[in-house]
Chain A
Amino acid sequence: MAIESINGCIGCEECIKSCPTDVLRLNPDSKKAEILYPEDCQICHLCRMYCPVDAITISPEKTIPVIVSWG
């Protein structure tokens, strides 16, 4: 779904800054970007395009959550 994985992250934070919907954050321990809120990914690929080391994999599928009666 949406943004899938980050392989070979160097921790430059380009993707974190470029994400319009705040999906990514820097993991304070590993100092690498991690996908924290994938449900908010709008599949625009800005993170991937800004990544200097081509580390981000994105798929076109998005599981649109079903609407429930409370949440």
Chain B
Amino acid sequence: MKKQDKKENISRRKFMALAGGAASFAAISALGMPIEWASNELEVDIDTLGVDKLSTDVLVIGSGMAGLFAAVKAHDAGAKVLMVSKGRLGASGQTPFAKGIFAYDPENEIVGIDEFVEKVSFSAIGTNNKAYTRQLAEHSLARVNELREWGFFNSSLYNKSFSKPIEERNIPVHERVTITHLIKEDESVVGAAGFSIDEQKVLFYEAKSVILCTGAGGVKPNGFPICDLTHDGTIMAYNIGAKVTGKEWNDGHPGKSENPAACYDGWGDMFEQKPSTTRIEIRHDLGVEANYMAYANGNPLKMGPPGASKNSAGNNGKNDGPQRPEGLVLSDDGPPGGGEKDGNRPPKGEGRRPPKGGDGAPPGMGGGIVGGSSAGMAIHKSEGLVPINDKCESNIPGLYAAGDALGSYMSGAIYTQIGSSLAGSAVQGGVAGEAAAAYCKNIKSISISKSKMKELKAEILAPMKREAGYSPAWVTQTLQGIMIPNFVLYIKKKSMLKGALAYIEELRDHHMPMLKAANFHELRLAHETANMIISAEMKLKASLMRTESRCSHYRLDYPDMDNENWQAWINIQKGEDGSMQFEKQPFGQWPNEAV
């Protein structure tokens, strides 16, 4: 995109090479049109690129809240740990923007853990995994106390407090390293591969165990700070045979209609605030109710009373719109204490909970709200690797995931407990860290074969080797154009899902193999774009498969809940032939557990 306007004289040889490759190019250039929209002007010398191989017991990928605890707890359990991050410790993914963390303190709560788990299950209409909901409550206070000790609550920026335990333990952290592949040998994970933007190197990490703390993902939407999250962990794991889940659910965060891309401004001064703890407060948030209102009534979105979509959206009193549990009562009178700090709460003016005084306009903002600010992301912890037990373990031996990279259904398919996303990441990070360290003790030695390294290096650098192709920026925009519309991603029906799927399959089959990159920045974008395309395919197919409406999944053609057929999660796995395979996993069961 950047060089679109730049005209350039191409040498005759180069011209011949291009023209030889595609006759149409010759035709275009004969017309005197600039053609470097397609030619890849490589800015690095890939033939002399260095390759490094490093070894560790536990490789933690990601440096947000889950990664922090995964690294610390794996180290404390006796493993040699290495942390690698696409960004910076405490400053990448959604962690830096989350300001509320749930701490279940039995001393101060009237509600016991059993009752808490039941309440979450009720609001989540059975979609939550009770083992993980319980684990959250049991471990949250201990994790919060550790964070307090490290100074987490003293600053709005988390790098310093996160660095404290990591530096005390001398855990190496490789920042600004994009991991693109997980490596499997003999059915077990043996490491990962990627590249360092700063060192301009291809890196191989040999590891007995890998913990994905790679967060969630989206389609780089405007208005939510998740443009670095592209489901990398999920897709890498899927590619080596891991089961993934939760692709039909949606996070329905809206944005401001004025400067919708400005996520900082959309959240007022929340990003500048110090974090704080939250107590039990179970809700039914971040679904697609505002999307349904906008779909039914058009823009601008009219602010109604809480739950307005259920009865006052101009539907003649018909009880339609996204499904909520029967008899759900929420304290919707105003923002609950600490709730606005959560980092998971929508900006003021979110459809279902109008601000006090309520013309629907957040302070300092004249316009209304628009949907899709977190497009491509599911409800926290509903989307990601399928756990085979409550130890954050995947179906690939040695591969673990924690936080938003794990489809733990801790909150269910709707956002239930305020502040639980950050707390859940901390808790699961710790659990995964200890489990991975224990797993390593039984693994003698692992190695990545030379042939595998050669093959992966070629795959990693492939976008740089293409002389012509499509820019990741353009493919991403096209993908956004297909996925973000309210009538595709949020208010679903068969015909539209199929239509969108046809586009996505085109991107997958023809454009993904032709993504090009001229430098390491674009190389990162190319791999991210590929991950988004596969995730989009999963989302559309899972949405087609789920022929009911529940929590944050809404089908216009199947508006009712179908308890007979759909008390189940959808798992996705790559088949032997490379095709996308789907299965149901009943609520309340682990995969492959006898029904």
Residues of A within 8 A of B (CB): 2, 17-22, 36-37, 39-40, 42-46, 49-50, 58, 60-62, 64-65, 67-68, 70-71
Contacts and interface: CB of A to CB of B under 8 A. Distances in A.
8 shortest interchain CB distances as A-B pairs? A71-B474, A60-B262, A62-B261, A20-B228, A60-B259, A42-B227, A45-B264, A44-B225
Contacts of A64: 222, 261
Contacts of A22: 176, 197, 521, 524
Contacts of A50: 91, 157, 159
Interface of B is mostly: loop
Nearest to B156: A49
A36 B521 contact: yes
Interface residues of B, number: 42
B259 A20 contact: no
26 contacts: A20-B91, A20-B92, A20-B93, A20-B228, A21-B227, A22-B176, A22-B521, A37-B521, A39-B1, A40-B521, A43-B261, A43-B263, A44-B97, A44-B225, A46-B157, A49-B156, A50-B91, A58-B264, A61-B261, A62-B222, A62-B261, A65-B477, A67-B477, A67-B478, A71-B4, A71-B477
B1 A71 contact: yes
Interface string B242-282: 00000000000000000101111100000110000000000
Interface in B469-524: 470-471, 473-475, 477-478, 481, 521, 524
Contact of A20 (B87, B473, B475): B87
Nearest to B471: A71
Contacts of B481: 67
A17 B96 contact: no
A43 B477 CA distance: 18
B175 interface: yes
Contact of A17 (B175, B261, B475): B175
A20 B227 contact: yes
B199 to A, nearest CB: 13
Contacts of A68: 474
B558 interface: no
A21 B261 CA distance: 14
B484 to A, nearest CB: 11
Interface of B: 1-2, 4, 37, 87-88, 91-93, 96-97, 156-157, 159, 175-176, 197, 220, 222, 225-228, 259, 261-265, 271-272, 470-471, 473-475, 477-478, 481, 521, 524-525
A46 B91 contact: yes
A49 B474 contact: no
A37 B473 CA distance: 11
B263 A42 contact: yes
Given A49-B272, A60-B259, 11 more contacts: A18-B159, A21-B228, A43-B262, A44-B96, A44-B97, A49-B156, A62-B222, A64-B261, A65-B473, A71-B37, A71-B471
Contact of B1 (A2, A20, A65): A65
Contacts of A67: 477-478, 481
Contacts of B471: 71
Given A60-B265, A70-B474, A71-B37, A40 B156 contact: no
A6 B304 CA distance: 43
Contact of B88 (A18, A36, A44): A18
B261 A49 contact: no
A19 B159 CA distance: 12
A40 B197 CA distance: 16
A71 B91 contact: no
Nearest to A58: B264
Contacts of B264: 43-45, 58, 60
Contacts of B261: 2, 42-43, 60-62, 64
Nearest to B259: A60
A36 B518 CA distance: 14
B521 A70 contact: no
Contacts of B97: 44
Contacts of A58: 264
Nearest to B475: A71
A16 B481 CA distance: 30
A45 B265 CA distance: 9
A50 B157 CA distance: 8
Nearest to B86: A20
Nearest to A62: B261
A13 to B, nearest CB: 10
